Amino acid sequence: MAHFDPNARPFSHKWMNERLAVDTLQKVLSTEYWIPKNINFLWAMGMILAATFGILLISGIFLLMYYIPDTKQAFDSVNYTVMSEVGYGWLWRHMHGVAASVVFLIIYIHMFTGIYYGSYKKGREMIWLSGMLLFVTFSAEAFSGYMLPWGQMSYWAGMVITNLFSLGSLDFQGLVEWIRGDYVPGQAFLNRFFMLHVLLMPLIIMALIVLHFGTLRIPHVNNQDGEEIDFDAEAQKWKAGLRKESKVIPFNPVFLSKDVFVMSIYFIIYFYLVFYHFEFAMDPVNFDPANPLKTPPHIYPEWYFLWSYEILRPFPKDPGLVAFGFAQVIFFLLPFLDRSPNVAPASRRKPFRCWFWILLVDMIVLTIMGKVPPVGVYTTIGTVAAWVFILLWVTLPIVTKLEKPVRRSK
Amino acid sequence: MSDRRDFFGKALGAFAGLGALGALYAAKRTWDPLPSVKAAGFTTVDLSKAEPNVLYTEMWRGKPIFILKVAKDDKAYSDKRLINVGGDKFFIAIGLCTHLGCIPAYFPDKHKFICACHGGQFDAAGEVLKSPPPSPLVIPPFKVDGKKVVLGEAGPEYKKLQEAGVVA
Amino acid sequence: MKDLKKLGIVVFFTLLVYIGVEPYAHSVMHKHVEGHNFKYPDLKPIAAKGNPETGKALAAACMGCHSIKSQGVPAPMDPVSASGAYGVNPPDLSLIGALLDEKYLAHFLKDPVHTAIVAHKFKDRAYPMPPMATDDQSAADLVAYFKSIAPKEVKPKEAYEFACGRCHEMRYAKWTQIGEVPKTKKNIQTGADLAKLKFNEKLAEYKGNMVKYLGKLPPDLSIIVRARSEEFLETFVEDPQSQLPGTGMPRVGLSKEGYEKVFAYLEEVGDPSKPKREKVGPIVLLYMVVFAFLAYLWYKHQWKDLH
């Protein structure tokens, strides 16, 4: 039975401590949550993602107050009411649109940082898997949000992506119609994607963010050298005042101060984009109202979906779908396909180093080819890049098996 | 060094607070009524065909507006709250009981408004005859324009009523 | 220093993706059309010097179909009947001298179908606008007359209404092909707004006539500045066929200044937040720079004795 001091002043430190254990909470969550000292600015991407998600949430709340999920009114509620009538409505919309695009850039940087430093191995598998789940839910969130302005690109992206669920020659038209609630994307479709975007997906994302943070607790954050650190011993050193000698730092305020600095640089760039260069995140095609009788001459997904879209495109219908499905799940398997015992930066893992850079460049090529029209040489490059992507993953177990144990410098 | 945030941390925190205030200002502006809502806040009513002792109800800013041409034999005919429009005396008020906002009904034979919710009564000039309503029916800002009345705009007649203390 | 190298790598790949999916991909998707700065090089210069007085006498023939409101000449028909007769309502001529290119106008008066580049739409029917000038001299006289009555300053909105507004709706500015949407009031008892219903009926009739004439309804231009690039709009207005071969949109013949007026209005309606962005943007960026500076001080202070 806990002890409650009857004389403690309500809401005083002691009073709160007895009821909520605020001191313990603060220690566990911030001042004695230990992070390795040997890190660089790439370790700030997680906090940047959390902050960007916060921006999406807040700007989304304001947009939600004026958005009308009705096929006849949605377009004007966004493009007229929000953009010209609502005080600062334009600011929320541009912040939301730009953040939705930029968040994927940061996700990809975060992912490739993890791949480069081997932060998915030896106890950190769940960090990777929960992160991949976040990637998938963010993708669903982005796609459902893209439907809402009900412009030409919303409508036709909705048409094309839901058609994927007919699963090629299996021709599951029933499933497609079930997802749409109609024969084509219509009112039912808009309403359910609105629900997904503003309620179900954000709920799942928030739960997954908590899980993702939770998965860090036991294996701890990785460091630049992949060194295994005895966190308890190092924490003792820090507490004894050996700031220089200890290999760890507390999350608050030491790690946080660096995070906030990196984040502030990111926000300078972000707000520059919001005010002066938002076009890249708001495709012109979507400023034409949805027209079920006319497909725009060029349709393409937002940039962050392009690489997987391009894996679908060069193949015939059924193999294309298989390749697309492969691209969607293969990243989940990374911790299990990597057979090397080394947790080290890719620069010290010989064959894997090449594998990493080829993968990165290949995905960029796929991304660019996914946007340009599939004609002539672009088709060839796209097909080759898609095959390279598949082969890279097939050969990953072999590449990592060949790897020699990395010798530690210290 | 303690684990409390140092001076630099506090300075940064204070500056972040300033930014939050800026964001709050933008948020406040987002909640403001839209320009189109405000523009709809003016209603012109033509009173030339009004019959005496017949209640007309108009809509202004989403609220019912009572318009009553007061008959010469009405006890309230000389009330200072009545408005002279082209030689006739009109009672114009927001048709919501000042007690809790129900709409009182007009009884032409009794020359009074009776609120069904809690039994409040008003005369043909909107003065309280029977509580609970604490104050007379509220006169909206208006401007007389010949035989017409523009609701939502404060004209000289409205300002005179304000000076006389009849309306706030 | 190591951090900077890593930052360089991140920035390099980010820019590579950006350049690939934005400027590069769009240059592949959209063909480049060379603009001519509204000089209309395909039209020969007209040497004849016009006389506004002679032109005024010639212009009497225009008034059978056109109004010149600034000169007190009313329209012979209301817009809906005019659309029934001609397909679209003929324009008022008050601003024609201020907004159209002189050379274009002279050629248009001599040979409307080819100057407006609409011959492909009028193979087996007559273009409602007949040639009004038989030679360079009379064309130059008419142009001189229209120039003489042109106001010094044209508002962007007037330019839009003259150049685009008889075919293109702009619902975010409450503009329809037959004028502004009237401010009407509902009947409180029935909830019906008869004046609006009548207006909409007229509008529907006008649009019907226009579809018969043009083949389809021209798009609403409310946010066309966000749906098309500036470059596209400029070259398209200068010569619609260059961007959309076969389109029913005529070459309007705006002068450079005339187009700038029209564009200013398209931007005012389609991108109303531009002045606000320009006002708020520097404040927010300055705030973030100061914030980053303070954050840097804090970071340096926290990390000063760690290595």
pLDDT beyond 80 at A381: yes
Give Cα separations from A403 to A111, A116, A152, A341, A389 (angstroms).
22, 15, 50, 9, 21
**Rounded mean pLDDT of C35-61?**
91
Q: Model confidence at A2, in pLDDT bands (50, 70, 90)?
A: low
- Nearest-angstrom CA–CA distance, A343 and A366: 28
**Rounded mean pLDDT of C6-21?**
96
Convert the pLDDT of each residue in A79-118 to its tens digit: 999 999 999 999 999 999 999 999 999 999 999 999 999 9
Q: Model confidence at A408, in pLDDT bands (50, 70, 90)?
A: low
- Nearest-angstrom CA–CA distance, B6 and A253: 9
Neighbours of A40 (CB within 10 A): 17
Convert the pLDDT of each residue in A291-320 to its tens digit: 999 999 888 999 999 999 999 888 888 888
Residue-level pLDDT at B1: 43
Place of tokens 């011959």: C119
For the CA atoms of B119, B124, B128, B134, the dihedral, rounded to the nearest 10 degrees, stands at 90
- Indicate the class that CATH gives domain B39-163: mainly beta
Cβ(B133)–Cβ(B96) below 8 Å: no
CB contact under 8 A, B8 and C297: yes
Give Cα separations from C177 to A138, C28, C137, C171 (angstroms).
44, 36, 34, 10
Taking one residue from A and the other from C, the number of pairs with CB-CB distance under 8 angstroms is 127
**Rounded mean pLDDT of B91-101?**
87
Query: Which residues does B122 contact at the CB level (< 8 Å), separation at least 6?
Result: B104, B112, B113, B115, B128, B129, B133, B136, B137
- Within 8 A of A54 by CB-CB distance, chain B residues are none
- Nearest-angstrom CA–CA distance, B67 and B45: 9
Predicted TM-score of the model (pTM): 0.90
CB contact under 8 A, A284 and C229: yes
CB contact under 8 A, C298 and B43: no
Residue-level pLDDT at B43: 76
Which of the residues A23, A86, A90, A239 would you substitute to probe the B interface, choosing the one with the greatest number of B C-beta atoms within 10 Å?
A86
Convert the pLDDT of each residue in C160-184 to its tens digit: 999 999 999 999 999 999 999 887 6
pLDDT beyond 90 at B51: no
Convert the pLDDT of each residue in C268-296 to its tens digit: 999 999 999 999 999 999 999 999 999 99
Cβ(A235)–Cβ(A246) below 8 Å: yes
- Nearest-angstrom CA–CA distance, A91 and B26: 9
Coil vs helix vs strand at B145: strand
Convert the pLDDT of each residue in B22-35 to its tens digit: 999 999 999 998 88
The chain B residues in contact with chain A (CB within 8 A) are 3, 5-6, 9, 12, 23, 26-27, 29-32, 34-36
The residues facing C73 across adjacent strands are C68
Nearest-Cα residue of chain B relative to residue A260: B12
pLDDT beyond 80 at B5: no
Instruction: Assess B31–C contact: CB distance below 8 Å, yes or no.
Output: no
Cβ(C272)–Cβ(A84) below 8 Å: yes
Backbone region of residue B163 per phi and psi (left: phi > 0; alpha: psi in -120 to 50; beta: other values): alpha
What totals of helices (H) and strands (E) does chain B contain, helices first? 3, 11
Tell which residue, A39, A33, A34, has the closest CA to residue A225. Answer: A39
Helical H segments across A181-255, by residue range? 187-195, 201-217, 231-239
Q: What is the CATH number of domain A30-299?
A: 1.20.810.10
Convert the pLDDT of each residue in A342-375 to its tens digit: 999 999 998 999 999 999 999 999 999 999 998 8
Q: What are the boundaries of each domain within chain C?
A: 1-30, 31-183+192-272
* Chains with ≥3 CB–CB distances under 8 Å to A: B, C
- Nearest-angstrom CA–CA distance, A47 and C14: 19
Cβ(C17)–Cβ(A305) below 8 Å: no
Cβ(A158)–Cβ(A185) below 8 Å: yes
Residue-level pLDDT at C188: 58
Residue-level pLDDT at C189: 63
Coil vs helix vs strand at C168: coil
- Nearest-angstrom CA–CA distance, A114 and C271: 41
Q: Rounded to the nearest 5°, which phi and psi values hold at B133?
A: -55, 130
> Of the given ranges (B29-43, C161-175, C185-199), which has the lowest mean pLDDT?
C185-199
pLDDT beyond 70 at A409: no
C63 token code pair: 């008034």
- Nearest-angstrom CA–CA distance, A56 and A138: 11
Of B9, B15, B58, the CB nearest to C291: B15
- Nearest-angstrom CA–CA distance, B154 and B81: 15
A250/chain B closest Cα distance in angstroms:
9
> Of the given ranges (A326-340, B77-91, B118-132, C194-208), which has the lowest mean pLDDT?
B77-91
Instruction: Assess C301–B contact: CB distance below 8 Å, yes or no.
Output: yes
Q: What are the boundaries of each domain within chain A?
A: 30-299, 311-410
Q: Rounded to the nearest 5°, which phi and psi values hold at C68?
A: -130, 80
- Within 8 A of C306 by CB-CB distance, chain B residues are none
Give Cα separations from A91 to A73, A157, B38 (angstroms).
21, 25, 22
User: Whats the size of chain C, residue-wise?
Assistant: 307
- Nearest-angstrom CA–CA distance, C52 and B6: 81
Query: Which residues does A10 contact at the CB level (< 8 Å), separation at least 6?
Result: none
Residue-level pLDDT at A135: 97
CB contact under 8 A, A258 and C289: no
A126-132 contacts at long range (C-beta below 8 A, 24 or more positions apart): A126/A215, A127/A212, A127/A215, A127/A216, A127/A219, A128/A334, A128/A335, A129/A332, A129/A335, A130/A208, A130/A211, A130/A212, A130/A215, A131/A212, A132/A331, A132/A332
Residue-level pLDDT at C259: 96
Q: How many CA atoms lie within 13 A of A165 on its CB side?
A: 12
Of B6, B12, B26, the CB nearest to A91: B26
pLDDT beyond 90 at A42: yes
Please state, rounded to an integer, the average pLDDT across all residues of chain A. Answer: 93
| Percent of residues, chain B, with pLDDT higher than 90 | 14
* Chains with ≥3 CB–CB distances under 8 Å to C: A, B
Coil vs helix vs strand at A324: helix
Residue-level pLDDT at B2: 46
Estimate to the nearest angstrom the gap between the alpha carbon of B107 and the chain centroid. 22
ipTM over 0.90: yes
- Nearest-angstrom CA–CA distance, A307 and A365: 8
Q: Rounded to the nearest 5°, which phi and psi values hold at A335?
A: -65, -25
Q: What are the boundaries of each domain within chain B?
A: 7-32, 39-163
- Nearest-angstrom CA–CA distance, A84 and A94: 13
Place of tokens 């008022």: C92
Which of the residues C17, C175, C216, C229 would you substitute to probe the A interface, choosing the one with the greatest number of A C-beta atoms within 10 Å?
C17
